[in-house]
């Protein structure tokens, strides 16, 4: 009896040990399978969901009740970050973006890196406005982060928002709509974009432009128009700005705002920009009374490795004084690529060209950047000129900008001058040069060469008074 009990006890113990071993192995296997599934669903660099996991989460969220917003994000000029700061810096930027998305997204959100520099966020129970506000918070946070890698001053992104609606039949369609809205945001550069049916037509037009632009450039159908730069004191021609035009089949000029961003996306802007510089220099060479011509340079062209060499070689080939070529760049280039921009600007200055800060006031407008880069000329954005008409504060702000420019040894240009009254007020505020339709519309080189001193400005022996439509503007009326 005792022997049987021992045998039974031993058998039960063996069974228990076997069961424990089995359960332990099963638990470990389950853990490994869970880890494997997690790894399969996770982006290794950022720790976010990957594309496959996002697709699964999207299908689940799409079939659940309640509102659903999809945010599709793309980093602006990320290739330039890799090219200028290196791939390690690029990876660090992606990690910072992932961290920013986590900090600003609600706990119910699903956040994914779709691959490359694209991200996607699902926001259950959010309205259109709440999704757009989320995008704005992320954009602002990325622009002000102080822990970005060396060589990267800020991170800009394009964001598209798509909402589940009755006419959106599938999760895949919602994702496509978010992608389309993001692409439109990237193209127009007006901030986060909410999907609408009108975007489809806009994107169709953009695809047509994209397919035809290269053909038009290679066929020599792009043209330059020249807008006069007028001396604010004398009304005489002081220079010109070369503006790119693409006439359509019946001779109308295409909007640069439509085709230049596409040229930048495709990389064609580098070849187009080279042609613009060479054509502007050739035009200077043909002039008997030579004047300086300014050309706009895109971010992509400016950061090109051979840009300074291109400028130097083109000047030598044209045989014109280098100071007759003016290069216009915007603040965004300086903010995002500070160190490389500083080096390129030093090279251009050594060549002898003049450097203009374009559209001042549309970006960060930091005094430290203006002092650091030592510009020859400051161009005040047209928005400030329009604001001057609306309030006394607008005039006071313009006076401050003009005085600041002069204190830093820069000449100051006011862009977008469309009325005689604006010209009068700006001249009384002390601006050096005026540019806009009130002084002269963009036209052919022949029209530029035949420019007559502007009738908008008249000079007297004691002071320059500007005749408006109905009265004379006194200096005291601007103060």
pLDDT in tens, 79-106: 878 877 788 889 999 999 999 999 999 9
Residue 469 vs residues 70, 384, 420, 448: alpha-carbon distances, Å: 53, 22, 7, 26
Q: What is the pLDDT of residue 240?
A: 97
Instruction: For CATH 3.30.70.270, list the domain ranges present in the chain.
Output: 51-195
Instruction: For CATH 3.20.20.450, list the domain ranges present in the chain.
Output: 211-477
Q: What is the pLDDT of residue 41?
A: 85
The token duo for 220 is 């020599």
Q: What CATH architecture is 51-195?
A: 2-Layer Sandwich (3.30)
Check 43, 117, 179, 359 and give the catalytic one: 117
Q: What is the pLDDT of residue 179?
A: 92
Over residues 293-310, the pLDDT tens digits come to 999 999 889 988 899 999
- For the entire predicted model, the pTM comes to 0.67
Q: How many degrees, rounded to 5, is the angle at CA 7 between CA 4 and CA 10? A: 150
Inter-residue long-range contacts of 369-374, CB under 8 Å, 24+ positions, other chains counted: 369/331, 369/334, 369/335, 369/338, 370/408, 371/408, 372/342, 373/334, 373/341, 373/342, 373/345, 374/345, 374/349
Four-way CATH pick for 211-477: 3.20.20.450, 3.40.980.10, 3.40.630.40, 3.40.190.10: 3.20.20.450
Query: Residue 477 — pLDDT band, cuts 50, 70, 90?
Result: very low
125 is catalytic: no
């Amino acid at each position: 009896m005792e022997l049987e009990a021992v045998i039974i006890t031993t058998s039960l113990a063996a069974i228990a040990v076997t069961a424990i071993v089995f359960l332990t192995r099963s638990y470990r296997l389950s853990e490994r399978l869970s880890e494997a599934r997690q790894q399969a669903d996770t982006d290794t660099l950022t720790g976010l969901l990957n594309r496959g996991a996002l697709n699964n989460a999207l299908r689940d969220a799409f079939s659940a009740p309640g509102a659903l917003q999809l945010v599709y994000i793309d980093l602006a000029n990320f290739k330039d970050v890799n090219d200028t700061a290196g791939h390690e810096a690029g990876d660090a930027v992606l990690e910072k973006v992932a961290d920013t998305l986590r900090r600003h997204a609600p706990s119910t959100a699903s956040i994914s890196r779709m691959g490359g520099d694209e991200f996607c966020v699902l926001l259950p129970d959010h309205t259109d406005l709440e999704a757009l506000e989320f995008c704005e918070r992320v954009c602002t946070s990325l622009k002000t982060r102080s822990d970005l890698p060396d060589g990267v001053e800020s991170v800009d992104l394009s964001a598209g928002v798509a909402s589940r609606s009755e006419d959106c039949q599938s999760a895949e369609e919602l994702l496509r709509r978010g992608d389309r809205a993001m692409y439109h945001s990237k193209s127009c550069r007006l901030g986060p974009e909410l999907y609408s049916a009108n975007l489809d037509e806009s994107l169709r037009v953009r695809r047509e432009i994209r397919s035809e632009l290269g053909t038009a450039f290679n066929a020599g159908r792009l043209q330059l128009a020249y807008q006069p730069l007028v001396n604010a004191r004398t009304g005489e021609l002081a220079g010109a700005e070369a503006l790119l035009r693409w006439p359509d089949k019946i001779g109308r000029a295409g909007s640069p705002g439509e085709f230049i961003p596409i040229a930048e996306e495709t990389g064609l802007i580098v070849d187009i920009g080279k042609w613009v510089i060479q054509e502007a220099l050739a035009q200077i060479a043909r002039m008997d009374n030579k004047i300086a011509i300014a050309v706009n340079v895109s971010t992509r062209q400016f950061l090109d490795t051979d840009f300074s060499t291109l400028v130097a070689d083109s000047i030598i080939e044209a045989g014109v004084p280098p100071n007759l070529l003016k290069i216009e760049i915007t603040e965004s280039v300086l903010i995002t690529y500070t160190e490389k921009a500083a080096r390129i600007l030093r090279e251009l200055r050594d060549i002898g060209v003049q450097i203009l800060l374009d559209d001042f006031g549309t970006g960060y407008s930091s005094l430290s950047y203006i002092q650091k880069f030592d510009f020859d000329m400051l161009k005040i954005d047209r928005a400030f000129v329009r604001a001057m008409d609306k309030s006394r504060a607008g005039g006071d702000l313009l006076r401050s900008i003009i005085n600041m420019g002069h204190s830093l040894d820069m000449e100051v240009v006011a862009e977008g001058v469309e009325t005689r009254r604006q010209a009068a007020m700006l001249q009384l505020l002390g601006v050096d040069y005026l540019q806009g339709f009130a002084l002269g519309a963009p036209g052919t080189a022949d029209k530029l060469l035949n420019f007559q001193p502007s009738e908008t400005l008249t000079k007297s022996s004691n002071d320059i008074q500007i005749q408006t439509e109905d009265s004379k503007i006194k200096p005291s009326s601007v103060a």
